[in-house]
Chains A and B, each alone.
Chain A
Amino acid sequence: MIEFHLDVRSGVSPYLQVVQQVRQALRLGLLREGDQLPTVKDVVARLAINPNTVLKAYRELEHDGLVAARPGVGTFVTRTLADASLAAHGPLRQDLRRWLAKARLAGLDDESIEALFMTTFRTAAQENIA
């Protein structure tokens, strides 16, 4: 069982934070197939958030095929995310390190690097949608 937390300053909507925390736990192997997610009532009573927020998050996870709701019992993990992509992290991190070194060599400071990464990331994400 995992526990959720909420960062109201993050600017990420509460429902998305719940989704991201489940995905993160799946990726890190903290949640495995068959594990139960906290019930809506438990999450709500702990975090003082709207039940519809939790339901929406669980529905989205269900839609992605990561969890399944068993009526009257609870919501259970059906698939894990700690898969082959974990193996790709190493080489990708190396590439990123090389790129970072290049950026510093070109005279970019931390802020510029972050700004460049985020704008490129967002543009690429938008192009994928369009």
Chain B
Amino acid sequence: MTAVLRARALGKKYQRRWALTDCTLEIPAGHVTGLVGPNGAGKSTLLNLAAGMLTPTAGTIEVCGGRPGSGPAQLAKVGYVAQDTPTYARLTVSDHLRLGARLNPSWDDALARRRIERLGLDPNQRAGKLSGGQRAQLALTLGLAKRPELLILDEPVAALDPLARREVLQDLMEAVAEHGLSVVLSSHLVADLERVCDHLIVLVTSQVEITGEIDGLLATHHRLVGPRRDIATLPADQHVISASHTDRQTTLIIRTEAPILDPAWTVSTIGLEDLVLAYMGRTARVGSGSGSGRRPALEVLR
């Protein structure tokens, strides 16, 4: 497996606060990876480190075989559309395309013009006069026409209406199918991620909670419902992600590779949204402080 992004014990500190700690990851090439987590979890920091906009405080990160932002060859391999889909307000749409063509050695001008035309953007319009959604589309056009090996998108569809959102994702997936490009995108919209992503990273309070292939993650996580039970009595290979209890009943979300044999449980599969929420709720509930090394064990709420 070739990795498009490899991070080892990666960390980033802003003045006193660690925005990302001990992040070890490997993202395989040719895949679409979703990055989820609560606001302030460190998603944008991780993406900025991958794009070379930030330098790590600790650890290492390698993107497409090189150090992010290390030179023109490296910059050509990685496309990055930041969270607020930045464009130059005083430049027109066609100025942006000209700029893209000058700055990017593998620029696909035909792709860029086709896309602008299909979106119905006026080439002579200044970017500052575009709507939020149109600006996002322009920024994405630049990212796609650059023809990078890895395209990094921070909340690419947040500003878009449902129809535009679907169109962006369709174009993105078409580009993945056609050019075999790898994509890492952050989003709060888990339903979108479920459609377009095959890998997932859950980032909570500056740490990676879980990462892996989505089908594999869904196959190894289960919801167990049964009579009330102390979770300390579960088999060692069943890792409890979330637990809630009533007087008589216990509901768990667990991770296990092994079959669940105990007939007392009603076992059901969980969707991606439940999985993400279970991991996101985990650290919030135990109230762990970030950057202090090991997080405390899960507490049982009654």
List residues of A whose CB falls within 8 A of some B CB: 6, 8, 11, 13-15, 40-41, 44-53, 56, 126, 130
Q: Which residues of B are found within 8 Å of A48, using beta-carbon distances?
A: 166, 169-170, 172-173, 195-196
Q: Determine if B215 and A51 form an interchain contact, defined as CB atoms under 8 angstroms apart.
A: no
Q: Determine if A14 and B194 form an interchain contact, defined as CB atoms under 8 angstroms apart.
A: yes
Q: Which residues of A are found within 8 Å of B174, using beta-carbon distances?
A: 41, 44-45
Residue from A11, A56, A126 within 8 A of B271 (CB atoms): A11
The residue in chain A whose Cβ has the minimal distance to the Cβ of B218 is A13
Give the Cβ gap from B276 to chain A, nearest Cβ, in Å.
14
Q: Determine if A51 and B166 form an interchain contact, defined as CB atoms under 8 angstroms apart.
A: no
Residue from A6, A8, A15, A46 within 8 A of B215 (CB atoms): A15
- Which of A40, A49, A50, A126: most chain B Cβ within 10 A? A50
Q: Determine if A53 and B198 form an interchain contact, defined as CB atoms under 8 angstroms apart.
A: yes
The verdict on A52 contacting B198 (CB below 8 Å), with A11-B271, A44-B174, A45-B174 known, is: yes
How far is B170's CA from A13's CA once the two chains are assembled, in angstroms?
A: 18
A-B contacts, 8 of them at CB < 8 A, read A11-B271, A14-B194, A14-B195, A41-B174, A49-B173, A51-B176, A51-B177, A126-B259
Contact with A along B91-119 (1 / 0, CB 8 A): 00000000000000000000000000000
How far is B196's CA from A8's CA once the two chains are assembled, in angstroms?
A: 12
The answer, yes or no, to whether B244 is at the interface (CB within 8 Å) is no
Give the Cβ gap from A115 to chain B, nearest Cβ, in Å.
10
Q: Chain A interface secondary structure, helix, strand, loop or mixed? A: helix
The residue in chain B whose Cβ has the minimal distance to the Cβ of A56 is B215
How far is B197's CA from A49's CA once the two chains are assembled, in angstroms?
A: 8
Q: Which residues of A are found within 8 Å of B169, using beta-carbon distances?
A: 48
Q: Determine if A40 and B195 form an interchain contact, defined as CB atoms under 8 angstroms apart.
A: no
Q: Determine if A50 and B271 form an interchain contact, defined as CB atoms under 8 angstroms apart.
A: no
The verdict on A41 contacting B215 (CB below 8 Å), with A50-B32, A50-B196 known, is: no
Q: Determine if A8 and B195 form an interchain contact, defined as CB atoms under 8 angstroms apart.
A: yes
Q: Which residues of B are found within 8 Å of A40, using beta-carbon distances?
A: 177
The answer, yes or no, to whether B191 is at the interface (CB within 8 Å) is yes
How far is B31's CA from A53's CA once the two chains are assembled, in angstroms?
A: 10
Q: Determine if B176 and A49 form an interchain contact, defined as CB atoms under 8 angstroms apart.
A: no
The residue in chain A whose Cβ has the minimal distance to the Cβ of B197 is A50
The verdict on A44 contacting B215 (CB below 8 Å), with A8-B195, A50-B196 known, is: no
Q: Which residues of B are found within 8 Å of A44, using beta-carbon distances?
A: 170, 173-174, 176-177
How far is B31's CA from A61's CA once the two chains are assembled, in angstroms?
A: 21
Q: Which residues of A are found within 8 Å of B31, using beta-carbon distances?
A: 52
Contact with A along B254-279 (1 / 0, CB 8 A): 00000100000000010100000000
Q: Which residues of A are found within 8 Å of B299, using beta-carbon distances?
A: none
Give the Cβ gap from B23 to chain A, nearest Cβ, in Å.
24
Q: Determine if A45 and B170 form an interchain contact, defined as CB atoms under 8 angstroms apart.
A: yes
The answer, yes or no, to whether B178 is at the interface (CB within 8 Å) is yes
The residue in chain B whose Cβ has the minimal distance to the Cβ of A51 is B177
Q: Which residues of B are found within 8 Å of A46, using beta-carbon distances?
A: 170
> Which residues in chain B, 194-218, are within 8 Å of chain A measured between CB atoms?
194-198, 215, 218
How far is B174's CA from A13's CA once the two chains are assembled, in angstroms?
A: 20
How far is B41's CA from A104's CA once the two chains are assembled, in angstroms?
A: 54
The residue in chain A whose Cβ has the minimal distance to the Cβ of B170 is A48
Q: Which residues of A are found within 8 Å of B30, using beta-carbon distances?
A: 52
Q: Determine if B173 and A45 form an interchain contact, defined as CB atoms under 8 angstroms apart.
A: yes
Q: Which residues of A are found within 8 Å of B215, using beta-carbon distances?
A: 13, 15, 56
How far is B170's CA from A44's CA once the two chains are assembled, in angstroms?
A: 7
Give the Cβ gap from B27 to chain A, nearest Cβ, in Å.
14
Q: Which 4 A-B pairs have the closest CB atoms?
A: A48-B169, A51-B177, A44-B173, A48-B170
How far is B178's CA from A50's CA once the two chains are assembled, in angstroms?
A: 12
Q: Which residues of A are found within 8 Å of B171, using beta-carbon distances?
A: 45
Q: Which residues of B are found within 8 Å of A15, using beta-carbon distances?
A: 215
> Which residues in chain B, 224-274, are within 8 Å of chain A measured between CB atoms?
259, 269, 271
Q: Which residues of B are found within 8 Å of A130, using beta-carbon distances?
A: 259
Q: Determine if B194 and A51 form an interchain contact, defined as CB atoms under 8 angstroms apart.
A: no
